Amino acid sequence: MFESLTDRFDTVFTRLRGRGRLTEADVDEALREIRLALLQADVNLKVVRDFVARVRDALVGIDLSTSLTPGQQVVKVVHDELRQILGGETLKVTYASRPPTVILLAGLQGAGKTTTAGKLAAWFKKREGRNPLLVGADLQRPAAVEQLKVLGAQAGVPVFSEQSDPVTVAKKGLAEAIRLGRDVLIVDTAGRLSIDAELMDEVRRVSETVEPHYTFLVIDAMTGQDAVATAEAFHRTLELDGVILTKIDGDARGGAALSVKEVVGRPIVFASTGEKQDEFELFHPDRMADRILGMGDVLTLIEKAEAHVDAAGAEEAMARMQEGRFSLEDFLDQMQQVKKMGSLSGLVGMMPGLPKELRNAEIDDNALGPIEAIIRSMTPQERRDPSIINGSRRLRIAKGSGTTTTDVNALLDRFKQMQVYMRQMAGMSGLGGRVARSAVRRNNKKAAKKSKKRGR
């Protein structure tokens, strides 16, 4: 989501770092760029202004002219301020001593409240081992309750609703949760505009009725300048505990996330990363700051790896990489592991030190299908030693995988090139960002040439 912001900051920082001395004009220029980058990312104008002012203030205290690495210092100040803005603890749900723990969702129309309610229910059930009850208090939008029922069924969570009014539904829902012994109650409400006094009053009454332990505002990541006004209004009415950011799998720059945190002082607690019910995660504000600053999100990556990847297998693969014996078979194995960890584009966003071209590459996970098909159409012997693949074998593989011989060649070429870098990379003790970077650049150039040859 924050990729383009990352790129912009990267450019500014690179320029600053390269300077031996910084004049005031240089700093002004850098600040102007940062301001533009933030505004283009939909960060609220007022937030941007404060941010730039704070960075400037912090810089005044540093005598840049005498510093040996002035650029580095500006970068550090911006880092610190950005962390400040986005910062905050990751939500740790405290469950009520007398269940149920009540969660109220509110927001504008179309932000994704109902979908989020379903995802939240699934999260509580699957990740936290709780027994949630969903309450459909959106009696406004046609079929909203139907939608919630379908989502509840998917999550294996019961749904309560009836045709009365939202306050009554919420009240009965709470009673129902107690009766059934459900320990988490998630109340979905109708979308409403922050200036609709009547509806805002209604949601306040719902809130007073169920006395939620957590009140979350659901906000669309694509929201523009208005995010602040909306968040402030809901915060005044409901006392928010946090924000759930939806649709972050698009290419919106997510400025709303920064603005809201800054203005209402409440962190983003969850982010919805896709259309599937389990594409929903706790949000780690500090990690996101690192991600914006182009530092990757290694922590999340490691967590995912720990949860999904077979560590012993990876060790072995690594050893083989070092010895240059990493075969297509190993590759296939590791590919399966990677697939388990989620979408490729999501993973790439968390990797540190990847070049822009790769980070922003549009990756359709279905494109992995042909790769797998090609490898699976090879004999074990071919997988271990691709050099034996001659013309007729190639044709057979292409036919078997429903691809063309050009595709087979492309895969083999890539794999061969990468084997060289794999050895280098595996041999390094650190995260060999630079090597990967140059490898990929070279690769991309070759690909570009190739595609030109194909007449694209």
Partner 1 sequence: MLTLIIVLIVVAVVLLSTATFLVTGRRRGRRLEAPPGRPPAPPVTRPTQPPRPTEAGPRAPPQPEIAEPAVAEPAVTEPAVAEPEVAEPEAAELEVLEGEPEVLERPRFRDRLGKARNLFSGYLTSVRGREKIDATTWDELEEALILADVGVDATAKMLDDLRSRVRKEGLTTPDALVDALKGDMVSLLEGDRELHLQSGVTNVWLFVGVNGVGKTTTIGKLGQRARRDGHSVVMAAGDTFRAAAADQLAMWAERVDAEVVRGNEGGDPGAVIFDAVQHAAAKKADLVLADTAGRLHTKVNLMEELKKVRRVAGREPGHVSEVLLVIDATTGQNGLVQAKQFADAVEVTGVVLTKLDGTAKGGIALAIASELGIPIKLVGLGEGAEDLVDFDAVEFVDALIDAD
Site for partner 1 in 308-367 (CB under 8 A): 309, 311, 314-315, 317-318, 321, 331, 334-335, 337-338, 341, 344, 347-348, 351, 354, 358, 361-367
Residues 363-392 interacting with partner 1 (rule: CB under 8 A): 363-368, 370-371
User: Shortest approach of partner 1 to residue 192 CB, angstroms?
Assistant: 9
What single string gives the DSSP state of each residue in 131-165?
A: -EEEEEE--SSTTHHHHHHHHHHHHT--EE--SS-
Q: Which long-range CB contacts under 8 A does 25-28 form with residues at least 24 apart?
A: 27/56, 27/59, 27/64, 27/74
In this chain, which stretch among 25-33, 71-79, 244-252, 263-271 interacts with partner 1, using CB under 8 A?
244-252
Residue number, 101 or 147, with CB nearest to partner 1: 147
**Where does this chain touch partner 1 (CB under 8 A) — which range of 17-25, 173-181, 253-261, 285-293?**
253-261
Instruction: State the residue for tokens 């390269």.
Output: 18
Count CB-CB contacts under 10 A for residue 348: 16
Candidates 57, 208, 211, 251; binder of partner 1 (CB under 8 A) is 251
Mask for 122-141, x = binds partner 1 (CB under 8 A): -----------------xxx
Minimum distance from CB of 65 to partner 1 (Å)?
A: 29
Give 26 or 162: the residue with its C-beta nearer to partner 1.
162
Judged by CB under 8 A, the chain residues 406 through 435 that form the site for partner 1 are 406-407, 410-411, 414-415, 418, 421-422, 425-426, 431-432
Binder of partner 1 out of 8, 119, 130, 149 (CB under 8 A) = 149
Interacting positions 48-107 with partner 1 (CB under 8 A): none
Q: Is the peptide bond before 100 cis (omega within 30 degrees of 0)?
A: yes
Nearest distance, CB of residue 372 and partner 1, angstroms: 10
Would strands 242-246 and 268-272 be described as parallel, antiparallel, or unpaired?
parallel
Three-class SS of residue 57?
Answer: helix
Measured CA to CA, the distance from residue 70 to residue 13 in angstroms comes to 11
- Smallest separation, CB 349 to partner 1 (Å): 11
Residue 157 binds partner 1 (CB under 8 A): no
Binding residue (CB under 8 A) for partner 1 from 91, 222, 271, 378: 222
Name the residue nearer to partner 1 (CB basis): 77 or 231. 231
Q: Which DSSP string do the residues of 173-195 spell out, in sequence order?
A: HHHHHHHHT-SEEEEEE----TT
Among 224, 161, 220, 209, which residue's Cα sits nearest to residue 188? 161
**AA letter at 250:** G
Q: Find where tokens 């031996």 sit.
A: 20
Q: Which residue's CB is nearer to partner 1, number 19 or number 339?
A: 339
Task: Choose between 96 and 351: whose C-beta lies nearer to partner 1.
Answer: 351
Site for partner 1 in 184-213 (CB under 8 A): 193-195
Radius of gyration of the chain (CA): 26
Report the side by side order of strands in the sheet with 242-246: 159-160, 132-137, 184-189, 101-107, 214-220, 242-246, 268-272, 280-282
CB nearer to partner 1: pick between 131 and 194: 194
